[in-house]
Structure 1
Amino acid sequence: MGLAGLSIAWLKAGHVLGAPMVVADILRYLATVVWLLILGVYLLKLTRFPKAVLEERQHPVKLNFFAAISIGLILLAITWSQATPELGRWMWVFGAIGHLLITLMTVSIWLFRSQFKIPQITAAWFIPAVGNILVPISGVQYAPADISWFFFSVGLTFWVVLMTLVLYRLFFYDPLPIKLQPTLFIFIAPPAVGFLAYLSLNGGSLDAFARILYFIALFFTLFLAVHIRHFLRIPFFLTAWAYSFPLAAITIASLEMGALSAQSFYSVLGTVLLLITTVVITVVFVKTILAISRGKVFLPE
């Protein structure tokens, strides 16, 4: 998700700022290879350890990451939509259908099969909602508008509900375990993605609702930036990837805001965020490779 998001951010920067498109191209191929690799490894796990996969479906945190598979495909559809439109179309079709099925599964478990408690709720619960909001960004060019409005409506509704639950948990219960604190960055993603999706649906009109979505995302970005020293002290975990896509989302949203409002502040902000996001994802990517090479990943919890 983070690599695909960064590819889209550089693609947007190419259109808005004249940044070199080759960066977006390289990231697009890298994101595609990584997605295929992760999918292949997880399918292998499903065939060899099906019981472990079933247990993850009932886990209060891991359950939500099943949606990362379909979200990754939807993001790849966006990255390929200009270079190879037909490939982007099929990626979008399978991604949207897959995400709808995963959303139905996740909500069913939340409502009928789970024994989850309030302290087990984290910002990772946003992930299925974010996926639905993503669908219209490229969906408007591949399918009737009502399909994109359907996904947008579902995603927006669950974002509001889940934000209330997550904030309640954070306000009135113990702080998140240190390993899960990077997931707080996920607060940025739904309104930032919602801003981009809504613009796709309304023809690019920067109306009041679009501005509300953008400024909510900007507030969460500012809030987390205030606590940057705290996040820098957190040891590296794979959950550090939670920084990546939200930062890419607010970067793309800021560049789009600059283009539509014709105010240089947003373009400058988008440029700064693009550099920060690129550095963060590069560091996380390198640390992940090092952790894998040292056998510090895929350990029993």
Structure 2
Amino acid sequence: MQSTEVAVLPKDETWPFLLRFPISAFGMCLGVSSQAMLWKTLESEPSTKFLHVHPAANHVLWWISVTLMVVVSITYLLKVVFYFEAVRREFHHPVRVNFFFAPSIACLFLVKGVPHPVWEIHHVVWYLLMLPILCLDLKIYGQWMSSGERRLSKVANPSNHLAVVGNFVGALLGARMGLRELPIFFFGVGLAHYAVLFVTLYQRLPTNVQLPKELHPVFFLFVAAPSVASMAWARISGEFNDGAKLLYFISLFLYVSLVVRVNLFRGFRFSLAWWAYTFPMTSVALATVLYASEVDNVLTRSLAVGLSGIAVVTVTGVLATTMYHAFLRKDLFPNDVSIAITRQRPKFSKILAHLRSSSSDVKELVLSIPNLSSSSKQGAYCNDASSN
């Protein structure tokens, strides 16, 4: 909310639930649906066959993911219907706008993690899921390139990785379903804009807005794009070759560099932003499992199991904490002041002009009354005479 605006609803009262339900709630869907994909991969990949993962784990997580996706989607659609202005403000928010990619990405994860073989799913499903991502790419990337206040140099923040990672997830699923040209197209688009975004974020230009401490978990999205890109390129090329390894090692280095910076992720209360930990951790675990299948030894297998275990514990912990805050403390969805429905605060210059026009109107009204005008003049003359 800008300094020139005031909220229509009072800040000290609880707003309607739909107004408090943010687009970032789809981050929960990303975290849980990626877990369904992880357990399916642990079951099927040669590097983790020794774990003897039961197919029921994937089935249960997949149905939980579908249920969560349906609930969140219906809730947000109701917000679109009843509070469209709040949705519009979210779309113009530098952080929230990136979460509009999340519904399509979560659906791609659900298709990839479906208990049945992916190649049995009709290609039309992939086209339908990639259409919103393509439309958002054209809109958001165009703003990054040419829009004044929404240029990437001004709005760059770690959540922008969501605007890139959707292309890699789409390329991964498309290649897995047997498609060729369009997965390469989306991979190329995503890689080009990821390179620009990566450099921009590392530069930390003075024009960038400082990210609030409560949103520091989104720094883990640095890990998501290269890890998913490595899996996508492995599926496109048919093997976990040097290109896929290059992207995987980048993601692994970023993962470790973030883990050792503990102070960056301390000192703020729980919120939906914590779900930004889950999807990137699961993505790097998935990439590690595929890498271990290509470079099979004790070290890579141990790394795959270790990172998968960390991802599972993280998702379980964040999910349990989310349920605690949602159903027991009931403070998971506070008043969303950052995108509150507002009205313009009157500017001082406008108030002054209004007062001047009002005083001139009163003066004209007084002069337009003949008796009052003449009597006032006579009174003035009398006063002058008496003073003499």
- Is the shorter-chain TM-score for this pair beyond 0.5, marking a shared fold? yes
8 A Cα contact 2:58 2:115, kept in partner: no
**1:134 to 2:163 alignment:** no
- RMSD over aligned CA atoms reads 2.2
User: C-alpha displacement at 1:279, in angstroms?
Assistant: 1.0
Question: How far apart in 2 are the matches of 1:260 and 1:86?
Answer: 25
Equivalent position of 1:161 in the other structure: 196
8 A Cα contact 1:58 1:109, kept in partner: no
Per the normalisation by structure 1, the TM-score is 0.92
**1:123 to 2:158 alignment:** yes
Question: How far apart in 1 are the matches of 2:216 and 2:290?
Answer: 29
1:147 is aligned with what amino acid?
A: L
Equivalent position of 2:336 in the other structure: 300
8 A Cα contact 1:123 1:166, kept in partner: yes
Equivalent position of 1:12 in the other structure: 41
Bigger mean CA deviation after superposition, 97-106 or 68-77: 97-106
User: C-alpha displacement at 1:261, in angstroms?
Assistant: 1.1
Question: How far apart in 2 are the matches of 1:88 and 1:171?
Answer: 48
User: C-alpha displacement at 1:297, in angstroms?
Assistant: 2.6
Unaligned stretches of 5+ residues in structure 1: none
Q: 1:140 is paired with a residue of what secondary structure?
A: helix
Question: How far apart in 1 are the matches of 2:196 and 2:115?
Answer: 32
Deviations 1:37-61 (A, max 9, x none): 1111111000000111111111111
Equivalent position of 1:40 in the other structure: 74
Equivalent position of 1:82 in the other structure: 116
8 A Cα contact 2:216 2:264, kept in partner: no
1:22 is aligned with what amino acid?
A: A
**1:105 to 2:135 alignment:** no
Deviations 1:163-201 (A, max 9, x none): 111112289978632111101100111110011000110
Question: How far apart in 2 are the matches of 1:171 and 1:55?
Answer: 25
Residues paired across the two proteins, number: 300
**1:25 to 2:59 alignment:** yes
What's the % identity of the aligned pairs? 26
Deviations 1:76-123 (A, max 9, x none): 110127357555755433211121112222223434556247564210
2:34 is aligned with what amino acid?
A: G
**1:211 to 2:245 alignment:** yes
Q: Please, which of 44, 47, 59 is the counterpart of residue 93 of structure 2?
A: 59
User: Relative contact order: is structure 1 or structure 2 higher (C-alpha 8 Å, sep ≥ 6)?
Assistant: 2
8 A Cα contact 1:9 1:248, kept in partner: yes
2:229 is aligned with what amino acid?
A: G
Q: Cα distance 1:173–1:147, how it changes in 2: closer, same or farther (>3 A)?
A: closer
Q: Cα distance 1:235–1:271, how it changes in 2: closer, same or farther (>3 A)?
A: same
Question: How far apart in 2 are the matches of 1:173 and 1:107?
Answer: 17
Equivalent position of 2:229 in the other structure: 194
Per the normalisation by structure 2, the TM-score is 0.72
Question: How far apart in 1 are the matches of 2:76 and 2:139?
Answer: 18
8 A Cα contact 1:185 1:246, kept in partner: yes
Larger radius of gyration: 2
2:219 is aligned with what amino acid?
A: L
Equivalent position of 1:283 in the other structure: 317
1:60 is aligned with what amino acid?
A: P
8 A Cα contact 2:155 2:208, kept in partner: no
Question: How far apart in 2 are the matches of 1:139 and 1:81?
Answer: 17
Deviations 1:4-33 (A, max 9, x none): 111111111112323222111111111111
Question: How far apart in 1 are the matches of 2:171 and 2:306?
Answer: 27
